[in-house]
């Protein structure tokens, strides 16, 4: 009995020793693994260390090379008086020279001189861009009669010094769709072999009685779809032209206008929005509310008129375009089959955008 107990005790001791050694080995491996992971993490950039513990960090693609897209036609707008913004090395096939306009008498005024851009080295096609601001003025020059006849004759005469004429009437009243299209038809028949184009608003479906792509495209050599101002000065803050919206606009334009006549317009500019609009008119109760909210106790008198001032904080939201956003949008349009793009406008861009596009030979 005692011999069996002694053997059993020895066996138990050996088992305990083996178990203890196993635990020690496992602890050693675990500690070294933790130290190794910590050492590797400390060697990473700070942003990468943070990303080890965060799953919501967006991928940083700023170091990726930007795509370079090529198109048979690249259009750009130049403002009369700002011709120095144009450089001869810009890859532009066409320039829309902005901008002649109708005055309140229906006369064509402010026609730019094409020789200015020619003297700066531009050898491509030069288009006279004509604008008409306001619904009342648009209605006046479009309605059949002597005013329209004179305005049409002025347009046709001025276009002779250019390679083409572009109409940019963005405020045609909804009830004037028919007369607007007859005006375009008159110009088409009088222009001969001059290129006839139109700048037209962005649509994602056939929803506009005036700017109906299908009814206008037969008269046009090109149609520049202004795919910008998705968000505007009085809207909620947002991109001037988000990628998803631009894709929808381009898809509808390709379907309705067709690849050969379509020019997709891109913005070079940005916008800002403030969360507080400080300039306004107020009734008396609103003034008293502001005084109470701001703790105004010091009211001054300016020639018997009460006056006070206070400071407030305004949060500004800015959305803008740079070479990366332009490059991505160009790449998307190219992949969709768009053959021509146009930019509003030369002088507003990041100089680096011109590196992201090429004119096809």
For strand 125-131 and strand 340-344, is the pairing parallel, antiparallel, or unpaired? unpaired
Q: Which structure tokens are listed for 192?
A: 């001969």
- Inter-axis angle of helices 146-159 and 135-142, nearest 10: 90
DSSP H/E element including 318: strand 316-319
Nearest to 100 by CA among 147, 181, 189, 161: 161
Question: Which residues 6+ apart lie within 8 Å of 50 measured at CB?
Answer: 57
Q: Which structure tokens are listed for 227?
A: 């795919």
DSSP H/E element including 36: helix 2-42
Contact present, 112 and 128 (Cβ < 8 Å): yes
For strand 69-71 and strand 357-359, is the pairing parallel, antiparallel, or unpaired? parallel
Contact present, 334 and 340 (Cβ < 8 Å): no
Q: Is 64 exposed, middle or buried (0-12, 13-18, 19+ CB in 10 A)?
A: exposed
Residue 21: C-alpha distances to residues 7, 15, 27, 226 (Å): 21, 10, 10, 76
Residue 20 neighbours by CB distance under 10 Å: 10
149 vs 187: CA distance, rounded Å: 11
The full length of the chain comes to 361
For the chain, state the CA radius of gyration.
34
Contact present, 317 and 272 (Cβ < 8 Å): yes
The reply to whether 360 belongs to the active site is no
Of the residues 170, 230, 288, 349, only one is catalytic, namely 170
Q: How many helices (H) and strands (E) does the chain have?
A: 10, 15
Which residues are identified as catalytic?
170
């Amino acid at each position: 009995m005692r011999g069996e107990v002694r053997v059993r005790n020895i066996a138990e001791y050996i088992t305990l020793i083996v178990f203890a050694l196993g635990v020690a080995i496992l602890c050693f491996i675990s500690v070294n693994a933790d130290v190794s992971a910590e050492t590797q993490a400390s060697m990473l950039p700070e942003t990468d260390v943070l990303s080890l513990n965060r799953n919501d960090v967006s991928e940083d693609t700023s170091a990726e090379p930007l795509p370079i897209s090529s198109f048979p036609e690249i259009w750009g707008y130049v403002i009369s008086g700002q011709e120095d913004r144009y450089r001869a090395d810009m890859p532009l096939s066409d320039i829309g020279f902005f901008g002649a306009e109708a005055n309140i008498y229906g006369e064509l005024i402010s026609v730019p001189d094409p020789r200015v851009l020619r003297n700066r080295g531009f050898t491509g096609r030069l288009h006279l861009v004509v604008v008409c601001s306001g619904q009342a003025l648009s209605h006046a020059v479009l309605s059949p009669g002597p005013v329209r006849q004179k305005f049409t004759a002025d347009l046709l005469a001025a276009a002779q010094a250019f390679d083409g004429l572009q109409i940019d009437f963005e405020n045609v009243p909804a009830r004037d769709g028919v007369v607007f299209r007859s005006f375009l038809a008159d110009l088409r028949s009088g222009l001969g072999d001059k290129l006839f184009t139109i700048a037209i608003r962005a649509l994602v479906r056939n929803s506009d009685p005036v700017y109906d792509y299908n009814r206008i495209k037969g008269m046009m050599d090109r149609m520049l779809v202004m795919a910008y101002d998705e968000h505007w000065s009085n809207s909620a803050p947002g991109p001037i032209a988000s990628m998803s919206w631009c894709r929808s606009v381009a898809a509808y334009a390709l379907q309705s206008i067709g690849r050969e006549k379509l020019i997709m317009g891109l913005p070079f500019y940005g916008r800002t929005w403030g969360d507080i609009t400080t300039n306004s008119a107020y009734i008396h109760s609103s003034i008293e509310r502001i005084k109470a909210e701001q703790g105004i106790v010091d009211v001054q008198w300016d020639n018997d008129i009460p006056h006070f001032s206070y400071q407030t904080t305004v949060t500004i939201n800015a959305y803008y375009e740079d070479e990366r956003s332009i490059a991505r949008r160009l790449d998307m349009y190219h992949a969709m089959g768009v053959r021509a793009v146009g930019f509003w406008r030369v002088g507003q861009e990041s100089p680096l955008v011109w590196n992201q596009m090429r004119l096809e030979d």
